[in-house]
Chains A and B, each alone.
Chain A
Amino acid sequence: MKYLPLIWATLWRKKTRTIFTLLSVIIAFLLFGLLETVDYAFSHGSGGVTGADKLITTNKYSITLSLPFADLQQIRSVPGVVAVTWFTWFGAYYQESKNFVFAIPIDTDTYLDYHKDELIISDRDLKEYSSTRSGALVNVALMKKYGWKVGDKVPLHSTIWTQKKDGSLDWTFDIVGTFDSKDPALAAAQSSQLLFHYELFDEGRNFGKGTVSWFQERIADPAKSAALARQIDALFANSSDETKTQPANDFTLTFLKQLGDIGFVVHAILGAVFFTLLFLTGNTMMQSVRERIPELAVLKTLGFSDGKVLGLVIAESLLLCVIAALIGLALSYAALPIVKIGLQGVQLSPLALIPGIGVAVVLALIVGVPPALRAGRLNIIDALAARR
């Protein structure tokens, strides 16, 4: 510790250079923290089935394959399942394909029961919705986005479902009310949602009648979620529609994973960033030691051994990298809630930040050891001769 003031003063010998180097390392570790946290979430999921209070049952082989609506009764009968609703992907846009609308055909009672802690809907709007067959409840953000008002008639174009009556892909809804999100973490995910009656959809669609994309279950005791998931899947084992039941968070991850190999993308980006950082910081350290050769020679003259001088340079590199890494990781920790919103409620764990400290130490050693060896091997006479 007694050498810390010396190392600290040396670090700030060239303030501008140190600040820029710190900033580049901070940004690299901010990126590391954010990307690693996302990768951690994708590779670890919610930590397994145990502890989840919401489960999702999909077709065992693909979420694009539907399940019979009749499965609902069997799932409901499983002791411990307190609420079940279902979901069918409608795939809609408004006027142009870029205007995605997350339209969901819902069974009002079961859907609102399942999402009771997530949505804010006024009694008036709910009553109006219940009594209007073509009615739709629209998220306030979506209303604002397209300038819709209650009372408007909104045509949506489904990319999947043709109508039985005329084969058209266009479905028209009457906006009878709005809803908002209770949980800010879910606000982004719900911001493009439009809810409409499942009966209208099921009766109106040209095909697929009596099928759903998946079932969503809420259970009484999260501690028993693993057993319940197994129990539900056992109900449909060896049937033509075998199921896979998993926590809702893991399902979200599975869904997002369709985008690509998240782990590969994350590590490719980080690899490029740290490869560049290695050269940048390494060059800074080399240059810093090169400029200080006479000063290092003076330290040796005063009696600092080769090992002590080597240690001082490595310590300087460690101090620079670890401080910057801690700042970068702290910033990424602070940014986790924002990332969580962007990832539609995926659970992010600060545990993913811990390896960052190890990465900082390795980085410090890689960039610090070569100049430190040079400093340690410094010949006092030659080094001082440059100043004489």
Chain B
Amino acid sequence: MSEPIVSLRNVTKRYVRGKQSVDVLEGLTLDIPKGEFVALMGPSGSGKTTLLNLIGGLDTPTSGEITVAGQRLDQLSSGGLSHWRANHVGFVFQFYNLMPMLTAQKNVELPLLLTKLSAGQRKTNALAALTLVGIADRAKHKPNELSGGQAQRVAIARALVADPTLLVCDEPTGDLDRKSADDVLHLLQILNRDHGKSIVMVTHDPKAAEFAGRQLHMDKGALLEAGSVAA
């Protein structure tokens, strides 16, 4: 087994809303090797999106250690996490979350604004990312001029453009028809297999999960053993 890109040790996450506190993750320990494509499955409220947010550096744990791409995320400040995310992780969301007033190319260029690349280099890299996901011909189109599948490809190109070590995908096919979903999942598979990207994907869809190399199941804030899922 290769060196883990994601390593969680006894991670807990508790949300406090007024007088109520909810334990979403309870003592979770997990290793994801570099270059793996993992699907996280489970019922609503099982904690899979919370886990994804912690892995992606969008949130911090209540306790425990999280190491991603060699960096202890639980020890980083808000600013440190922002910087880390810009350099190490790409996000793909269910509803694409593209900027409606920007063209596909400008959307893809967004993460590169945080780099020292020139405008010309940013454009070249954005077009390269759009070419990689097979949608370079729609570079000048705005999100409302794209189909769902095309918009999600643009979102994947945006996630890829800064060459992150890890892709974090939250229900990337949840808003797509079967054909478009399969295309997007196939693309993720290629990125994992041919380009060595580590991918953690949350999904409800068992068919989508089949595209991953490994499936992890969660329930009530904990990871289930493979046997217990089958049962």
Contacts and interface: CB of A to CB of B under 8 A. Distances in A.
Residues of A contacting B: mostly: helix
Nearest to B98: A298
A387 B101 contact: no
A9 B99 contact: yes
Contact of B86 (A5, A6, A303, A381): A303
Contacts of B59: 380-381
Contacts of A294: 97
A298 B97 contact: yes
A171 to B, nearest CB: 72
Given A9-B99, A12-B101, A388-B94, A302 B110 contact: yes
Nearest to A11: B101
A88 to B, nearest CB: 69
Interface string A363-387: 0000000000000000011001001
Contacts of A299: 110
Contacts of A387: 93, 95, 97
B78 to A, nearest CB: 6
A300 B53 CA distance: 13
B58 interface: yes
B114 interface: yes
Given A9-B102, A299-B110, A301-B91, A306 B82 contact: yes
Most chain B CB within 10 A, of A5, A10, A305, A307, is at: A305
A295 interface: yes
Interface residues of B, number: 30
Interface string A284-307: 000000000011001111111111
Contacts of B91: 301-302
A287 to B, nearest CB: 16
B99 A295 contact: yes
Given A9-B101, A13-B101, A381-B58, A303 B95 contact: no
Interface in B78-112: 78-79, 82-87, 91, 93-95, 97, 99-102, 106, 110-111
B146 interface: no
B229 interface: no
Nearest to A300: B82
B111 A381 contact: no
- Interface-centre pick from A2, A3, A308, A387 (highest chain B CB count, 10 A): A2
A303 B78 contact: no
A294 B113 CA distance: 19
Interface string B167-189: 00010000000000000000000
Contact of B93 (A13, A381, A384): A384
A5 B100 contact: no
A48 to B, nearest CB: 52
B79 A6 contact: no
Contacts of B158: 302
A301 B93 CA distance: 11
Contact of A301 (B83, B85, B87, B102): B85
A149 B98 CA distance: 76
B76 interface: no
Nearest to A10: B101
Interface string B205-223: 0000000000000000000
Interface centre among B79, B84, B87, B97, by most chain A C-beta atoms within 10 angstroms, is B97
B190 interface: no
Contacts of A305: 78-79, 82-83
A298 B111 CA distance: 10
Contacts of A9: 99, 101-102, 106
B82 A303 contact: yes
Given A301-B97, A380-B59, 10 more contacts: A295-B99, A301-B58, A301-B91, A302-B111, A302-B158, A303-B86, A303-B111, A303-B114, A305-B82, A388-B49
27 contacts: A2-B119, A6-B102, A9-B99, A9-B101, A9-B102, A10-B101, A12-B101, A13-B100, A295-B99, A298-B93, A301-B97, A302-B86, A302-B91, A302-B110, A303-B83, A303-B84, A303-B86, A304-B86, A305-B79, A306-B82, A307-B79, A380-B59, A381-B59, A384-B93, A387-B97, A388-B95, A388-B170
Complex A-B, nearest 7 residue pairs according to Cβ-Cβ distance, in ascending order: A303-B86, A305-B82, A9-B101, A303-B85, A298-B97, A13-B101, A302-B111
